[in-house]
Structure 1
C-alpha cells in the first residue's frame, strides 16, 4: 500500500526523493521559485508542482491534487535563511528585516496548514538556528501550533553524518502524529565514537574521487569556478582538512575576512556542511579549487541523474538547501515502520 504525501517547500527534491524511494505516493510539491520549478519538471515530470507563494494557495486548490481521503504524511523544509546561523540574524535595514521575518513566518504557515489537512504524520526539517531564535520562543510557538492542531510532536537536532551521509550537517527534524503513537526518531546507524559499536562516519572522498579523473571534460553541473590567481595562491597554502593560515600570510594574499570557503576538505572525513553561498563551496581535498555543484550534490547524496537548472550560483543554492536523499530515505522508512506499528495497534485507519 502506498501512502499519500505532499511536500511543502520542496526545493530540489531531496526530501521527497527519499520518501518516493521508500514507496510513498507524492501527490504534490509546492515551492515559490521559477528555477526550482524548472529543476522539478526536468527530474520529476510525473509529480505535479505548484510554483507560487504558499500563502496565496487555497486549501481547495491543494485538495484537487490529493483526491478523496486523508493525507497520510506532510513533509517539508520551510525556508530558513532568515535565522540561519550563517551570517547575521537581524539586519538593521527594515526592508531586509521584514524579508527575514517573512521567511521565518513560513515555518508557521507550514504548522497552520497542518490544521487544515490533518495528515496522520508530519515531518519538518529546519536549520539549527531555529532552536535559539527569539531565545527558543519561536520554536516553542511552532510546537504549540502543532499541539493545538491535535499532534503529538517532538524535535531533535540530528547530524546527518550519523546516518551515513558523508557530510557533517546538523539539522532540526520535527516529527509528529495524531494517531496516538509515542513520537520517536530513527536511530543513528553510523558514529564517530568508536565505543558506539557502529560503522564510522563515511568520508567525502569516496563520493567524489572519480570526478577528479574527468579533468576538464564537461559534465552536467560539474564545472569548476575560474578562480583568480590570488585565490589559487591562497588555496595552495591550505592543508588537507585545514583552513587558511590567516596569521601567517604574505601581505599580497591578506584580506580582511576569510569564511568557510577557505577550508579544505579531508579525504578521510565527512565534508563540511554544504551551504549555498556566493558561488563557493569548500575547497577540494586535492585540487586548488572549490567543489563543483556536482561534487557538492554527490556529498549531499543526490544521484547523478538529478540535474540542477540555472546558473552555477543558482544550482549551488538548490543543492545546499536540500535534505540529503540518503537521510530522507532512512527517515521515510522509519515513518513507514511507525505507520505499520500504528496499524498493528489498531490506531491507523486507512481511507
Structure 2
C-alpha cells in the first residue's frame, strides 16, 4: 500500500487546492488556515476531520503553530497567499513591484507564508499565485526570501488549468522546491461541464437561480453572442471583460472572484454551482455564506483538477525520495 502524506494548507480559502489533494487519494490534510470566516466554515464543512483555524496568519507565531501541528508531522505545505497586490487586474496595485511584496499589507502575507514554510521545513512546499508575482525583480526577491528559510533551490512552475481537465482558462505559477510537471490530461469545454445539470433550484446545493437583472439589462443580455461581454472594467494594464456569455464549445475565461458569467443558452447568470463546475469542484462540495461570498470563494480557488494533477506529481516525487 502506498503511503499517505500529511500536509497543511495556508490561505486555504474554501479548499479547492485541498480538494485536489484529497481526490488524489495520497494526502491527508492536518491543518487549514484562513482569515475569512465563510471560507474557513466552508473548508470545515467539506473536510470535517481537518483542524481549521480562522485566524490571520500574522498572528500565528512559531509557538502557536507548533501547538497546532508539530513540524515533524508535516510532509508538505501548500497555500495561496492573496494575489491582489500582484495581479494586473487590480488597478490599485503598487506602482513599484517590490512595494507589492514589502509595503502592501496584503503583499506582506506572502512573506508570512514563507515564514511558515521556514517553521515547518516540509519536504515539499507549493505556493500558488499569479505569474505577475515573478515580474520586475520580484522573482529575485522571492528567491532571497526562500533562501533565508533554508530553501536554496526554488522553481517557478507555470501551469495552465485547462491542460488538466478544468473547463476554464487559468494561468498560474506554482512556486516550489521541486519541478512540478504533471502529465497533461486533456481539455474539457463549457458544455462538458454544464450539460447534465438540472435546472436551477433543483437537486444540488448552491444551485439557486441568481436574481434576474433589470428589464434594460435583460434586453442587453439577450443580444449578446457567445464570447461577448456585457460590461468592461479597467485593470492595472488593460480593459477586462465581465458578464461574458459563455461559448459552450470553448473553455470559459478565467473565473475570478469578481467575474460573473452568462449562461450559453439562457438569459441569466450562472448559479454558484455552475460556476463551481467551471473550476472542477465536485457537486458534493458545498459553499457556506452569502451568494456573493460563494461566487468569490469559487473564483479565488485553485481549480480542483489542476490541484489533483499537482498532488499526484508530488506523491510520486515523495515516493521516489526525490525530496
CA displacement at 1:70 relative to structure 2: 5.0
Choose which of 256, 259, 264 in structure 2 pairs with 1:275. Answer: 256
> Unaligned stretches of 5+ in structure 2?
233-238
Any idea what the Cα deviations from partners look like across 1:140-167, whole Å, max 9, x if unmatched? 2122211232221111222110111111
Q: How many residues align?
A: 309
1:5 matched to which residue of 2? 7
Tell me how large the CA RMSD over aligned residues is: 2.6
Q: Which structure has greater helix proportion?
A: 1
Whole-Å separation in 1 of the counterparts to 2:120 and 2:132 = 27
Pairs within 5 Å for 1:120-199: 120-132=123-135, 135=136, 137-151=137-151, 152-176=153-177, 183-190=178-185, 199=186
- 8 Å CA contact 2:14–2:301 kept in 1: the answer is yes
User: How high is the TM-score relative to the length of structure 1?
Assistant: 0.81
Larger radius of gyration: 1
Choose which of 100, 106, 116 in structure 2 pairs with 1:113. Answer: 116
Question: CA 1:229–1:217 in 2, change beyond 3 Å: closer, same or farther?
Answer: farther
- Whether 2:267 is the aligned partner of 1:265: answer no
> Helix, strand or coil for the counterpart of 2:128?
strand
Whole-Å separation in 2 of the counterparts to 1:162 and 1:42 = 29
- 8 Å CA contact 1:9–1:76 kept in 2: the answer is yes
CA displacement at 1:310 relative to structure 2: 1.0
Question: CA 1:68–1:245 in 2, change beyond 3 Å: closer, same or farther?
Answer: closer
Any idea what the Cα deviations from partners look like across 1:76-119, whole Å, max 9, x if unmatched? 00112222221304379xxxx99981111111111122222111
Question: CA 1:233–1:142 in 2, change beyond 3 Å: closer, same or farther?
Answer: same
Question: CA 1:106–1:228 in 2, change beyond 3 Å: closer, same or farther?
Answer: same
Whole-Å separation in 2 of the counterparts to 1:91 and 1:185 = 30
Any idea what the Cα deviations from partners look like across 1:288-347, whole Å, max 9, x if unmatched? 12211111111111111111111111101111000111111110110011112226xxxx
- 8 Å CA contact 1:261–1:290 kept in 2: the answer is no
Choose which of 1, 21, 24 in structure 1 pairs with 2:23. Answer: 21
Choose which of 7, 30, 34 in structure 1 pairs with 2:33. Answer: 30
Whole-Å separation in 2 of the counterparts to 1:215 and 1:59 = 46
Runs of 4+ in 1 over 4 A off after TM superposition: 97-100
Q: Which structure has greater strand proportion?
A: 2
> Helix, strand or coil for the counterpart of 1:274?
coil
User: How high is the TM-score relative to the length of structure 2?
Assistant: 0.88
> Unaligned stretches of 5+ in structure 1?
177-182, 191-198, 247-257
Whole-Å separation in 1 of the counterparts to 2:65 and 2:45 = 22
CA displacement at 1:245 relative to structure 2: 10
